[in-house]
Amino acid sequence: MSIWKQIPKLAAALGLAFALAGCGVNNIPTKDQNVKARWADVQAAYQRRSDLIPNLVNTVAGYAAQEKSVLIGVTEARAQATHVSVDASTITDPAKFQQFQEAQDKLSGVLGRLMAISENYPDLKSNQNFLALQAQLEGTENRIEIARRDYNSAVQDYNTELVTIPGSLWASTVYKSYKQATPFAASAAAQTAPVVSFPGATSTAPPPSPAAAQPGTKP
């Protein structure tokens, strides 16, 4: 068959491809890949924090061995947070995602208590290894905050695509297997980031409002 006879078919195929692209047929998988990439950043940031903890615990234990309950709490929370994982294929499972977030929030809480006890140990506060680990942990908490924010932004963009036209049309036909991704939600124990409270930090929380008084009491 002459190549010239194939030209109309090729032109029609190219025209269809461009038309589909213009209608946003590729938007859902593209945004889905972006969500997964941002989730990988979140996992990397949390893993960096997890890798710092053993050295941090050992350093504190060398100066504050009597703080056994705090040290054990950090070690156990790290083990739990490491055990509970959510990969790119399960970020659409809200129950598993919540389990992951709760484990990480618990670890953040006990880390805050670990860092706070250094106030009672001047030698620990001035230890160069502790200071270096403290700085690395602060930087890691900032990375976690940024990674979570970028992930949530990607999730919002992707989820919106699934429920708005023309994305919803493709989601109900071509991409039926694609589900909404789960965003991070601020917990009561982690309203601000970095969530680790370091020595010398001051609270930025506003004072209680008079309107928050208990029923039956006068301001």
**Residue 111 lies inside a defined structural domain of this protein:** yes
Residue 19: per-residue pLDDT? 46
Residue 87: per-residue pLDDT? 84
**Residue 124 lies inside a defined structural domain of this protein:** yes
Closest by Cα among 97, 99, 105, 85 to 44 = 85
The residue-averaged pLDDT of 186-193 equals 52
The residue-averaged pLDDT of 75-79 equals 96
CATH code for position 164: 1.20.1440.20
Rounded to whole angstroms, the Cα distance separating 86 from 199 reads 32
pLDDT > 90: what percent of the chain?
Answer: 68
pLDDT at 88 over 90: no
| Helices 27-63, 94-116: crossing angle, 10 deg rounding | 30
pTM for this entry? 0.76
**Residue 30 lies inside a defined structural domain of this protein:** no
Instruction: Give the model confidence (pLDDT) of 146-168 as tens digits.
Output: 999 999 999 999 999 999 999 99
pLDDT at 94 over 70: yes
Q: How far is CA 9 from CA 16, 19, 25, 128, 166, in A?
A: 11, 15, 21, 71, 27
Q: How confident is the model at residue 53 (pLDDT cuts 50, 70, 90)?
A: very high
Name the DSSP letter for residue 99: H
Task: Give the helix ranges, DSSP H, for the chain.
Answer: 3-22, 27-63, 68-83, 94-116, 122-125, 128-163, 167-171
Mean pLDDT of the chain: 82
**Residue 8 lies inside a defined structural domain of this protein:** no
Residue 106: per-residue pLDDT? 95
Q: How confident is the model at residue 208 (pLDDT cuts 50, 70, 90)?
A: very low
Q: Is the pLDDT higher at 1 or at 179?
A: 179
Number of domains in the chain: 1
**Residue 200 lies inside a defined structural domain of this protein:** no
Q: How confident is the model at residue 193 (pLDDT cuts 50, 70, 90)?
A: very low
Instruction: Give the model confidence (pLDDT) of 123-151 as tens digits.
Output: 999 999 999 999 999 999 999 999 999 99
Which amino acid makes up residue 130? F
**Residue 1 lies inside a defined structural domain of this protein:** no
**Residue 218 lies inside a defined structural domain of this protein:** no
Other beta carbons less than 10 A from residue 140's beta carbon: 20
**Which residues, other chains included, contact 157 with Cβ-Cβ below 8 Å and sequence gap of 6+?**
31, 34
Residue range of the domain that includes 77: 41-184
**Residue 29 lies inside a defined structural domain of this protein:** no
